[in-house]
Structure 1
């Protein structure tokens, strides 16, 4: 099942590649972090809305994750539930503990609100 493959890719891969749509129809591929909590993938913009990939995802509600030749299209939506965001924090801590400073930036109060749920299509 395609969704299961996408979830597996996002769970096992340290730095995933997210492809987002430009207004002219092109796409840009950006390396980011992703975590999976109870089978549900999440991404977060460590730079808030200054990240171009984040602004494009918010505009379109869509992204494609790229693993070599494999592509996983997905819908992406903002998460506002504090309990879900806290669980995503814990998943980031577990998966990226060895990254120190960059991990602290991903857990900063000012970027926690840039958490998004990924739904493979």
Structure 2
């Protein structure tokens, strides 16, 4: 059931909120874009590996998505499958078509390697 709730959140919300753990145990909630391809949720760091939320999730391998009072704990898995990454590109382009330069940033070759599959815990 949690998986479907995350799918609904990702498909029905332009900007999702990812909660990542700081080294001191605190938490930071960051607004990001997210897409779903073939029933699988994906996120990508639009600012590449320099993004703080991305570095935190890479360090811990886990995060949570926050939708009001709902929390969805997840793990993340880095993608290196070019065919899937291309489909994620297409999903970003379809969902955020009206976002101009921000869309170009999230679909740029420099950040495509920062694509992650989201797995509901």
TM-score, length-normalised on structure 1?
0.98
Q: What residue number does 2:74 align with? A: 74
Does residue 4 of the first structure (1) align with residue 7 of the second (2)?
no
Which residues in structure 2 correspond to 1:16-55 (within 5 Å)? Answer: 16-55=16-55
> Could you tell me how far 1:92 is from its partner in structure 2?
0.2
Question: Cα distance, 1:3 vs. partner?
Answer: 1.4
What secondary structure, in the 3-state scheme, does the structure 2 residue paired with 1:88 have? helix
Shift of 1:34: 0.1
- Aligned with 2:24: secondary structure? coil
Deviation readout 1:27-59 (Å, 9 max, x if unpaired): 000000000000000000011111000000000
Give structure 2 stretches of 5+ with no counterpart.
none
Aligned match of 1:85: 85
Query: Map of 1:102-113 to 2, 5 A cutoff?
Result: 102-113=102-113
SS of the equivalent of 2:111 reads helix
- Aligned structure 1 segments of 4 or more residues deviating by more than 2 angstroms: none
Residue of structure 2 in register with 1:62 after alignment: 62
TM-aligned CA deviation for residue 75 of structure 1: 0.6
Unaligned runs of 5+ residues in structure 1 are none
